[in-house]
Amino acid sequence: MQALDDTSVAPRQADVLSHIGNTPLLRLRAIDREYPGVEIFAKAEYFNPGGSVKDRPALNMIREGERLGLLHPGKTILDATSGNTGIAFAMLGAALGYPVTLCMPSNANQERKRILRAYGAEILLTDPAESSDGAIRVARRLSAESPERYFYADQYSNPANWRAHYDGTGPEIWRQTGGRVTHFVSGLGTTGTVMGVGRRLKVYNPGVRIHAVQPDSPFHGLEGLKHLETALVPAIYDPSVIDAQMEINTEDAYDMVRRLAREEGLLVGISAGAGVLAATQIASTLNEGVVVCVLCDGGDRYLSERFWESEVPPGGWHI
Ligand code: PMP
């Protein structure tokens, strides 16, 4: 084992990291013209190099782990994730020289698994019937069995998750709206986005309303979001940050995803569709306001999903 102060094993630096955060805030003009007096903006998190909102917390968890001496060369980054956090860790691990092991349900989407393998991450598939909670249990067991081998990032319990949004996403939204934001809405996965952005916006202006989006049923297609009533509740979740809970139906979110592609030119993921739909529901109750939602990831990761099948002509593609 090499000594920690041996510079030959110091963590690598990588330019790609400097492009995480500072994402664009887009006005959804085709959507918000139905709500006179209300502006709807979307934080386009798929502009992050790993393609999602999760680059921010993954980088912060790594940096915090290094600072605390829990992560250093020789250790493997471990977490439970069915998608975007895994991609972020896989990308960052490759860039910084850390091996990455990810636990995920075996029914996780194909594109995701291929992206993870492309970055060289190890994937441990868990029982699909137990969904992301099953993956969490396996990650906990591995870390308990081999603490010297793994840095268990534990995104569901790690405060560096929500702090990435408290220090980054929240201030960016405040600045990009010129302090005019009145409502913020986003989905609950690990809950890091809503906890971090919500807390920060309330520091700037306690009157900002924070809305959280959940699927309307335990069996849903809103990838990345949790139905908290029937799931393991993340340790970082604090319901007092949230002013209103909203439930979104999967088919309705699909419709909004298609609409965003056709009317705004934005090809986004399903939770993004759910977030924009929730933003329109908030807008419909207002005479004036500035509503901000989050486009958590891009649509290219979902093109093999059933809801895009309707775009394929009967009998396939012909010239
Ligand atoms: N949407 C997608 C596509 C995600 O991957 C995630 C992360 N699980 C979320 C929304 C929710 O974000 P958070 O974990 O910050 O609650």
Nearest atom of ligand 1 to the alpha carbon of 189? 16
Q: What are phi and psi of 266, to 5 degrees?
A: -120, 110
Identify the residue whose C-alpha is closest to ligand 1 atom 7: 224
pLDDT of residue 126: 95
Ligand 1 centroid to residue 224 C-alpha, Å: 5
Nearest to 209 by CA among 223, 222, 228, 194: 194
Catalytic site residues?
54, 271
pLDDT of residue 1: 43
DSSP secondary structure code for residue 248 in this structure: E
pLDDT of residue 199: 98
Ligand 1 centroid to residue 54 C-alpha, Å: 7
Beta bridge partners, 38, equal 289
- The residue behind tokens 């709500």 is 35
Alpha-carbon 25 to chain mean position: 16
Q: Give the pTM.
A: 0.93
Nearest to 84 by CA among 61, 102, 63: 102
Quote the CA–CA distance of 59 and 50 in Å, as a whole number: 11
Candidates 55, 109, 190, 267: which one to mutate for ligand 1, based on the most atoms within 8 Å of Cβ?
A: 190
Identify the residue whose C-alpha is closest to ligand 1 atom 10: 224
Q: What is the CA radius of gyration of the chain?
A: 20
Ligand 1 centroid to residue 225 C-alpha, Å: 6
Q: Ligand 1 pocket: which residues have CB below 6 Å? A: 52-54, 83-84, 187-193, 223-225, 269, 271, 296-297
Torsion sign (Cα): 213, 191, 43, 181: positive
Ligand 1 centroid to residue 152 C-alpha, Å: 19
Which residues have C-beta within 8 Å of that of residue 90, sequence separation ≥ 6?
100, 102, 115, 116, 119, 120, 121
| Other CB atoms within 10 Å distance of the CB of residue 104 | 27
- The residue behind tokens 């081998």 is 149
Nearest atom of ligand 1 to the alpha carbon of 162? 15
Nearest to 49 by CA among 11, 12, 77, 91: 91
pLDDT of residue 33: 97
Are β-strands 100-105 and 76-80 bridged in parallel, bridged antiparallel, or unpaired? parallel
Identify the residue whose C-alpha is closest to ligand 1 atom 5: 224
Q: Which amino acid is at 204?
A: Y
Are β-strands 25-27 and 38-44 bridged in parallel, bridged antiparallel, or unpaired? antiparallel
Q: Which amino acid is at 263?
A: E
Predicted confidence pLDDT, tens digits, the chain (319 residues): 444 444 445 677 888 999 999 999 999 999 999 999 999 999 999 999 999 999 999 999 999 999 999 999 999 999 998 689 999 999 999 999 999 999 999 988 888 899 999 999 999 999 998 888 899 999 999 999 999 999 999 999 999 999 999 999 999 999 999 999 999 999 999 999 999 999 999 999 999 999 999 999 998 989 889 998 888 899 999 999 999 999 999 999 999 999 999 999 999 999 999 999 999 999 999 999 999 999 999 999 898 888 888 777 777 777 6
Identify the residue whose C-alpha is closest to ligand 1 atom 12: 189
Q: Does residue 199 contact residue 166 with C-beta atoms inside 8 Å?
A: yes
pLDDT of residue 9: 59
